[in-house]
Copies of this chain bind each other. A is one copy, B any other.
Amino acid sequence: MDWGTTNRRAYSIDGAGRVIATERDDQGLLAVSKGGFANSATAIRALFGDLPMLCAGMVGSVKGWAEVPYQRCPVDLESLAANLLWVEPGRTALVPGVCTIADGVGDIMRGEEVQLLGAVAAGLAPADALLCQPGTHCKWARMTDSRLAGFRTGMTGEIFALLRKHSLLADFLDGDVRDGDAFRDGVALAQKGALLGPLFAERASALLGIRAREEIAAHVSGLLIGSDVREQALEPGSCVHILADPALGCLYAAAIDQLGGRSVPIDSHAAFVAGITHIWRMIRADAS
């Protein structure tokens, strides 16, 4: 189970690591009361059968079922498997999140580690690679020798959501966000290194008739995603494997390619299933 803050996705996986059934719903942490996680798991078993369950994601945070301490980078699937927290002994376990500290700056993730390590374990990405997981908080992960060596998170998606919902720019951000001239103009602008100025200028440019109102959302998206990519300081031609749903993945791919990188899409569901299956097999091997 990939159990996040807002949504969750359950996969029923057979012994060969194949997905038998999958279901996504909105029963993320925010929808479950503090003591309600066991009942919520029972409801899932009613759908999928009475099977053991591994849960990754924010469900292992202080606001989730129980808090599982972070594992510190470098991390591999073995260290995740060795540090599960069994909330229902022998039946249900939570996968730990991962933390990293570099140059006195900390970073954390919960749930993404299973996808990242699973992508490499399944051969979807090489053992040494840069992986990108766009989302509310975009993860950029450096894999070394099949381990998660370090990572950095961009607040990109959350800033876009804040602007769209609560800012003075909100009324101007109802246009479609898709790859195109406006998006790519935003990416090019991001390359200049400024963000606070260009964000204010979006509204001004619309009011002055310099940019069509319906293009502002795509332009702001390009500016933010372009800034996120710029902050990675990619080597020219370097390869970035992207784990995301197709719509958001496409935008990141366009920005990465425009800024001199080379994007490769990966199936994020397949990566998660591979990661969680590997963890399960390690527990079974230990138990036998």
Which positions in A face B, CB cutoff 8 Å?
70, 99, 101, 104-108, 137-138, 152-156, 158-159, 162-163, 165-168, 193-201, 204-205, 207-208, 210, 224, 227-228, 231
Asked if A153 and B195 sit within 8 Å, CB to CB, the answer is no
Given A154-B197, A193-B231, list of 10 further CB < 8 A pairs? A101-B210, A105-B201, A105-B210, A108-B204, A153-B204, A154-B196, A155-B196, A159-B196, A196-B224, A196-B228
Which residues of chain B are within 8 angstroms of A101 by Cβ–Cβ distance?
A: 208, 210
Which residues of chain B are within 8 angstroms of A163 by Cβ–Cβ distance?
A: 162
Asked if B199 and A106 sit within 8 Å, CB to CB, the answer is no
Asked if A200 and B166 sit within 8 Å, CB to CB, the answer is no
How far, in whole Å, are A168 and B210 apart by their CA atoms in the complex? 34
How far, in whole Å, are A156 and B199 apart by their CA atoms in the complex? 10
In the complex where A104-B210, A210-B105, A210-B106 touch, is A197 in contact with B165 (Cβ < 8 A)?
A: no
How far, in whole Å, are A99 and B200 apart by their CA atoms in the complex? 13
Least distance between A97 CB and chain B CB atoms (Å): 10
Asked if B196 and A227 sit within 8 Å, CB to CB, the answer is yes
How far, in whole Å, are A208 and B70 apart by their CA atoms in the complex? 9
Asked if B154 and A207 sit within 8 Å, CB to CB, the answer is no
CB-CB nearest in chain B for A156: B196
How far, in whole Å, are A46 and B227 apart by their CA atoms in the complex? 52
Asked if B205 and A105 sit within 8 Å, CB to CB, the answer is yes
12 contacts between A and B (CB under 8 A): A101-B208, A106-B201, A106-B207, A137-B200, A153-B197, A155-B196, A155-B197, A162-B162, A162-B166, A165-B166, A193-B231, A195-B227
In the complex where A194-B231, A205-B106 touch, is A200 in contact with B155 (Cβ < 8 A)?
A: yes
CB-CB nearest in chain B for A105: B201
How far, in whole Å, are A132 and B156 apart by their CA atoms in the complex? 28
Which residues of chain B are within 8 angstroms of A228 by Cβ–Cβ distance?
A: 196-197
